[in-house]
Every structure is written in structure tokens, then in C-alpha cells.
Structure 1
């Protein structure tokens, strides 16, 4: 029997008051996501200084990079969910085994991603229509980014392990340090070393490798974690891969589905308003996405807390944790919505500050006033989806994401734009109404799932 620390504070919080657990896990998650978002923004700003074709090269590779990130996110969520369920059931040996299997899985997936990416990058980029200097820039950037696949997958597995045992602070510290390092290295590699877009990629790779070093230290040498990840008693168990993948794989697909949905929403924006329409959508939607960061951070906490409650067969705690998290998220959603309504013009200036883009100021401001109504309905759907991930029902999480992004948002947008002919306003209304409709259905599905779990709880012989 491994020597697990019974007095571990993170475990005590995770298995204790669900309110404290939700808050303790949510806030570091929010900060980490905000830092990462700001880093991505700054990264693009530095590259933009090299000229339009260089920024376009990064933009062409971005959807491919998002697929890598989606797969990595799947590993994070799948790992944290599986570990939380084991810890809730007080199967600490099993949680340790999940952690070790997740590291192996991350290395396998990272290796496959690297090989496929390096040998197919030119074909994939040409398929997007890229050519000339833009193609070369995208290829130069992408080849180096693909080299980061293994450490990226490992870092996400390690983050999932730490979050699964109720520790979201250390991942936040690592992500913050890595992102700040990247911001510092960008101008040095791009301009001082005169590496251009390759410099941006090398800065990203080095910051990721530094994160890998920090996470290796935390997991294997610091002795400050609850789980003892050392592979000394490792025994291959394919069921552990299944336990991770049953949540991780649908999560990755859900992330990819959201990118596909944005592609089609861009189509409706172009149809309704031409280039100005898609520029308006791009600017306004990025601001809305910033507003959803708090809800995403709380959703990650819901996955861990409900997973532990599910493992402990404490369905009452699972239900209470979800409802409390929704109230907690609604506070942020309503406050951010109010802020966007009041400060829509200053926020729109972020994407309309130059003479060339000043014509977009009123359009983006008007779009924000409608799109911010997207936020209050989001917690019901997103957090219920997080609960589905926590209890191992990854397919439900995927289904609800497809329902929200592909089915309802696109349906309502099509209805308002093509049938009612109300132009760009129809795109904004379609997103808001589609999200609200799907969130209501998702929450009802979640309530029915919890009701079923109560029934199964009374039957000890059955798996809940």
C-alpha cells in the first residue's frame, strides 16, 4: 500500500464542503485561463509587427494548432475526472494508476501527433488554400510547434493529475510562469535574434519545455502531491486508458466541434455583411469569449468536485455542488454582461482603434450589446456538461456541445438570416437564442441524470 498523506489539504477540501471546493478550484482556473488568453493575444501582436503575410501564416496554422490543443484538453479533463472519481471512492491506488497511465497516454498521443504533423503539414496547409510567402511562414511556424506536441500532451496530463487531486493552484503558477516567459522571449527571438516567425515558435516551444520541467519536478520529486507518481509498482491496465478516454475523447471532439461551428457562423456573417460582417463577428466574439473564461474555469472545478462526489456515491453532494456552481457562475455572467452593456464602445475600440478599422466601432458595439445576452444562459449548459464529464458520461458532454454549437446556434442563425432576412442582427440573435435553447435542454438532461443516479444509489450492486 502506497503511503498516501491523509492530511493533504487539497484532498480534505475536495472531499469536504462542496462550496469551498468549487471556489478553491475555480479561481486559480480562471486566472490561468486569463493569463493564457492574454499570452495568445500578445503573441499575435508581436508577430503582426513582421507584416501581414507573417501574421496570415500564423493565422493559417491556428486551426491546426487548435486541434492539438483540443486533444491536449481532452487528456486534461479525462485524467482529472477519472482521478477524482477514484479519490471519491477512496481508491487511492487506483487514482495513482490512472495518473501513471495518463502520462503514458500523453506521450503516445504526443508522439503520433508529432509524426503525423511533420510529415503532412505541407499537404494540410495547401489544402487550406495557403500559397507563396504565407504558406512558407505557416510551415516554418508549424513545424516547430509540432515539436512541442509531446511536452504539450504531458503538461496537460500532469495538469489533469494535479486538478484531479484538488490542486489547481500549482497548475496556475506553472501556466502563469510559462506564459510570462513566452511573452518575454517573443521579442528577443523574433527581433533581437532576427528569427522572424520561427522565433515566435521557438519562444513557445521553450516556454512549454520549461513548464514540462516544472511539472516533472512537482510530480516526481517535490513530494508535495497527494498521489505518488513514480511507476515503481506500475502494471499495465487497459481499463485505465478507457476511463481516461471515455471522457477525454468526447471532450476533444467537443472542442473541435466548437471551432467548426465558428467557421459556419463566419459564413453567415459574410453572407449578411460581407468582410465588415465577419470582421465585426471576429472582434465581438473574441470579447465574448473573454467573458466566458470565468464560466469555463468554474466548469473545470465542477468536473473535479462532482467526480469525487460520484466516486463516493454521494449524489446529494453532487447535485448541490452543481447547483451552487451555477449560482456562483451566474454572479460573474450577469456582472460581465452588465459591464459589456455599459462599456460596449470602449471594448469595441480594441478592434476599431485605427483609421482603417474605425468604421467597425459602432457595428462591434451594437453586436456586443446583443451577444452579451449569451452569457447568463451559458452556466446552465456549460456547468451541466462539466458535471457529465465528472461522472464519466463524456458522450453526454459531447452531445450537449454539438446540440449547442452545431444544431441550435446554426439553426436559429439560419432561420433569422435566411428566412426572416434580418441581416447581421440575425447572426447575433441566432447565437444567443440557440445557446439559451440548448442550455435549457442540457440542464433538464442533467436533472434527469441526477434523478437516475439517486435511484441507482439505492442499489449497491449496480454501477452508478
Structure 2
């Protein structure tokens, strides 16, 4: 596979690596949709319970991305530099760090569960659903999320199809378990959480087993590896942009949800939960393309093949823009095609369509921002990636959420997001234009 990363034609290689990633991301998006459909059948308040606890899950994923993206970026570059032993050491250290992080995170959330839910402004009607759901999710993360962390390294070594099969089978398992636990076993919201935890743990078992036993991988996971050079600093530096993104997204989600409830109501919160699921579907497609590009960019940047890096970047930017424009057109002209999948309630449908059209008005530019920030991570330029992440996920949006809704109510909440997306994406376009010129001048 390393030979392919260095010599195979970029369009074919990007397609080869992106298709499995897109497939797995789409299946995950379909799962998210199906999961929310099942949860909504319990009660619209149950759907609000899932939505209101999203900041906790976002914060949890911050540590998964910090270590997962940070380590996989370094692994790609080290393989490009022809240093497979160092890549193997990085994989081993990533496994240790994610296990420790998830255990500490879960203990903190369980101990401070009630104060945290109070901070999130969970209403008395939604409270039982939110508490039951998040308790099981954070306990299960100790076993479920390490696999998602190291799954990034599968793609980093060019095993995108293997990664896809794991994610797809996990999502299908979740879809099967959801109605079984929720309705057949009458577990309600607890059943939805348990189904997710079991499917996540399945990923962890498979990923760890493959890295430990597969003989055709360029690196393997050795659980008793002797202590050598520590890559902790490099892992953290390269994973920091994704970490900042998630941390800010946590605070933004809290402030945003509180603003939606304050200037709207719980039904608006249910509508935004649906909008976020639709956005997640779009985002996962774009991220799937980026995941296909990541090992190509990282490996060839390490090998100083800047011509291949530049070609991959241009192709990734173009693909994401086409997808963004297509989804944007559907949202603006035929929103019920998407929102109608989740609910048949006329009032909820109306609120969802209105919220989605305004909230995602800058969608054509968001894909360019996402590609740009992830590219700078892939080539170990974390400062630029961090700036882009901070701009879009809080630096602009948080102040606006405290100002604009005071004048325009719930509409001001959505407009705040539009302005933030526009400014952050404009900066991303500037950064990536300079990067393309830099790559061209170093050919």
C-alpha cells in the first residue's frame, strides 16, 4: 500500500481510499438517522434528551480525536519518511493514552452528573431521559471509544476498506439492536444507549485484534512494548486542532441549546436535533473524502512529493464543493425531503424546515473550511488548523449568540451561525490559497 501512496495516480488512489471512508461515514449517518427515528418514537422529549446531552458526547469525542487524529497523522508521515518502527511506537502509545483518557473522563462525568445536567439547563420533563441516556453512554465509552480512536490509524496505513467493513458492520449491529432493546425489551432510552455502547465495543475488539494479529500490516500493536522515545508531545500537537474544535463545539452546543430553549422552546430543540442529524449526514460525506486524502497527503508530504500533495488537495476541495452545493440546493428548495424522514408531526416539520434553511445557509463554503483545516492537520501544520477550528467553532459564534438573539430572538440564534460560518470559511479560503501557491513553488 505504501507503494500505491507514493506512485499510483491521485484520482484513482483518492477514489480507492475515499470510497470505503465515505461508505462507512454514510452508514454511520444512516445509523444516526435511524437511531433518532427510534428515539423519537419513544417520545419527542426523549429526542430532546439525546440532543441536550450532545455537549457531553462532543467533549468525549474531543479526546478521541486528540489522540486518534494526532497519532494517525504522525503514523502517515513516519511511514513516508521510511521510519516504520517509530510509527509502531506511536500506535502503541496512542492505545495507552486513549484508555487512560476515557477512564478518567467517565469517572468525572458520573461523579458530577447532576451538576452537569443542571448546567445544560435540562428541563424537568427531559431530565429523566437525558440522565438515563448519558449515564450508560459514558460508562460504555471506556470500552467502546478506544476502537474509534485507533480506527484512524487503519486509514493512515492505507487500510481504508478494512476500516469501512468494521464501521459498517458496527452500524448495522446498532440498527438491529435499537428496536430490540428499545421496544422488544421495553428499555426505552436506556435501550438506545445500550445498543450504541455494544456496537462501539464491537469496533474496539475488532480494531485491537487486527492491529495485534494481522501480518500484512506495515505496523502492529504490541501491548508489552518497551518504553522508548515518547511521542506524547507530537501526538497532542497534531491532534490539538480537532481537540479545540470539539471543546469549542461543546461550549457552543451548550450555549446554542440554551439559546434555542430561551428564545424558542423544547420543540425548537427537537427540530435542531433533526437539523444536526441532517448536517451530520452531509459532514460525514465530506469527512469521508478527507479521510481518503489524509494518508496520501501525510505520506507524500513526509516523502517531499509536493506535486502529489497539491493534486490531492485540489481534487479534495473540488469534490467537497460540488457535494456542498448539491445538498444546499435540496435544503433550500426541497427541505421536507430531508426533514420528513425524521418526523410526520406538522408543527415539528415546519420548525425543522425553517431552522435548517437558515442555520445551514453558508453550507457551500463549509466544505472548503473543513477540507482546509483537516489538510493542515494531515501535513503537521497544527497552528493553521487550530486557527481555522477556533474561528468556526466558537471564537466568532459564542459572542454573537450573546448579542444577536437579544434583538432578533430565535432568528438571531441561527443568523449567528451563518455569520460565523462565513467569516471562518473566508479565512480558510485565504489560508488554503497560500498553501496551494507554496506547494506549486516547491515542485
| TM class by smaller structure | 0.7 to 0.9
- Partner of 1:440 in structure 2? 426
Corresponding residue number in structure 1 for 2:19:
27
> SS at 1:15's partner residue?
helix
Residue 384 (structure 1) aligns with: 372
Instruction: Return the alpha-carbon distance in structure 2 between the equivalents of residues 305 and 206 of structure 1.
Output: 33
Is 1:357 paired with 2:348? Answer: yes
Q: Establish whether residue 46 from structure 1 lines up as the match of residue 38 from structure 2.
A: yes
Equivalent-residue separation in structure 1 for 2:324 and 2:434 (angstroms):
25
Q: 1:163 and 1:425, CA in 2 relative to 1: closer, same or farther beyond 3 A? A: same
Q: Which has the larger radius of gyration?
A: 1
Moved more, 290-299 or 154-163: 290-299
1:439 to partner: Cα distance: 1.7
Q: How far 1:228 sits from its partner (Å)?
A: 2.6
Following superposition, the deviation at residue 242 of structure 1 comes to 1.8
Q: Are 1:380 and 1:443, in contact at CA under 8 Å, matched by a contact in 2?
A: yes
Are the aligned partners of 1:158 and 1:219 in contact in 2 as well (CA < 8 Å)?
no
Instruction: Provide, for residues 403-446 of structure 1, a one-character-per-residue CA deviation record: whole Å limited to 9, x for no partner.
Output: 12334456778887667x6x766655554453233222123223
Q: Give the equivalent residue in structure 2 for 1:73.
A: 65
Matches within 5 A, 1:93-108: 93-108=85-100
Q: Would you say the 8 A contact 1:305–1:390 is kept in 2?
A: no
Q: Displacement of 1:327 after TM fit?
A: 1.1
1:294 match: 285
Flag the 1:250–1:309 CA change in 2: closer, same or farther, 3 A.
Answer: same
Higher relative contact order (CA 8 A, sep 6+): 2
Equivalent position of 1:260 in the other structure: 251
Deviations 1:299-337 (A, max 9, x none): 233333222122112233222221121012222222223
Structure 1 pair 385–452 and aligned structure 2 pair: CA distance change class (3 A)? same
Q: 2:78 is matched with which residue: 77, 80, 86? A: 86
Give the structure-2-normalised TM-score.
0.86
* CA distance in 1: counterparts of 2:124 and 2:424, whole angstroms: 43
Q: Is it true that 1:393 corresponds to 2:381 in the alignment?
A: yes
SS at match of 1:225: coil
- Which of 228, 233, 239 does residue 236 from structure 1 map onto? 228
Q: 1:375 to 1:23 in 2, by over 3 A?
A: farther
Cα distance change on mapping 1:282 and 1:139 into 2, 3 Å: closer
What SS class does the counterpart of residue 194 from structure 1 fall into?
coil
CA distance in 1: counterparts of 2:336 and 2:178, whole angstroms: 31
Ranges in structure 1 where 5+ consecutive residues have no aligned partner: 1-9, 459-464
Q: Structure 1: how far apart are the matches of 2:348 and 2:78?
A: 53
Number of corresponding residues: 442
The answer (yes or no) to whether the contact 1:47–1:200 under 8 Å persists in 2 is yes
Per the normalisation by structure 1, the TM-score is: 0.83
Name the CA distance, whole Å, in 2 between partners of 1:367 and 1:115. Answer: 36
